[in-house]
Structure 1
Amino acid sequence: MSSIVPYKESSGSKKEQVTEMFDNVAGKYDLLNHVLSGGVDIYWRKRALSMLKNNRNDLVLDIATGTGDLAIEANRILKPGKIIGVDISKGMLEEGRAKIKKLGLEEKIEMQLGDSEKLLFDDNTFDTVIVSFGVRNFENLLKGLSDMNRVLKPGGTCMVVEFSKPKNYFFKQAYWFYSTKILPLIGKLISKDRSAYTYLPESVKAFPDGEDFLKVYREAGFKECRAVPLTFGICSVYIGKK
């Protein structure tokens, strides 16, 4: 996974390149997400968060929070006391803070600059840890998931939303054509950074999904792990307990 990077000509680490990539596309990130997914990314977040409604969600950590879409939706659906969002990209956080201020949610959602693989929180701090489309960008997946487990309270829930690989043959062919041929072109037109949207399908292909992800999830210390595929398996929700 760490060998899949956005800028192949760069000598920077994956973490450095991912930070640069998100800084580059921050201003157009939300628009691109909704355009490229046909708005279905909004449904994925809502569907995933609905799986947590019956849990204790007083203090929530949103990993790789980006522009705060998941945190904002979590505030509406889970009604927690507070959400802390962490991201390594200053550009994405600036966009997110502007959205949160516009919505009047500054008291409920706090955005912090930080490394999601080296969380600056005490053990057993959060009731719930959530992340959407972020763990695929980790330099070390097991390390990142293990740290998420560490900061979660015993009995707490971790929810990961991530792209996965469709199983249906015909749908899979159409999906890979779109993601490898069409998506980079639209990404380049809107964001001026083609590499960011060439990296996306490459990183999805290399990422362990389904049962392969659940193996890493369990290795990181999570129990009662399950995977819920959405939209023909383009996306999956992974739930685990501490």
Structure 2
Amino acid sequence: MHRQFIAEGSKVALEWLHSDMPIDTIVATAEWHAANTHVIARHPEAAVHIASDDDLTALSALHTPSQVLLVLPYAAAKDVPNVNEWYLALDDIQDPGNMGTLIRIADWFGIRHLVCSPNCVDVYNPKVVQSAMGSHIRVNIYEAPLADALPALSAPKFAATLSGSDVYQAGTHESGVLIIGNESKGISPQVMALATHWVTIPRTGGAESLNAAVSAGILCALLLPR
């Protein structure tokens, strides 16, 4: 069985086309193809198909189809490496928009390793790919039970939780694992028990909680070296 996924939209497609990542198929309108022949030529391995707007509408998973669609191979499965760097560890993230944004956050902060528990939303879901805006290219994404993967990592482990200590007092760290929990249930007890630090973003207003991806972005800005 071929494990493939789709990336749609000119901005996302151009991210892949400017990279050295393999591409299986490029489906584009004649107009888009003509305007981007120079970058399409970087990928002689890709089959190229010219399609009408109606064809792309029929193929698209988006509400507003674009002029180009790529068929891409899944990245080869890898073991989570134990390195002196930062990781994001995601415990059962379910929302595709959150997952895509979390991949972009990892990319923004230069975090090269993102570990997803098996019950996370598929990182190649079309909505995830769209939200990540090409960041799949630069972030290594692993799927593994966090209860198995985290003990093998020597970096300190920071659990994002409402009951944690003030992250503004935590300082910055050269390496670490930032654990972000499920949107409604938070971090599971088994994974929480593996954390070496519990941190929270102090609340001064009335909101009950922060979105998982928003929390991750704030915590990365405060914990990672600047």
Structure 1 and Structure 2 fold alike (TM over 0.5): no
TM-score of Structure 1 vs Structure 2, range by shorter chain: 0.3 to 0.5
Compare the two structures and name the one with the higher helix fraction. Answer: 1
- Structure-2-length-normalised TM-score: 0.35
- Alignment TM-score, normalising by the size of structure 1: 0.33
Structure having the higher Rg: 2
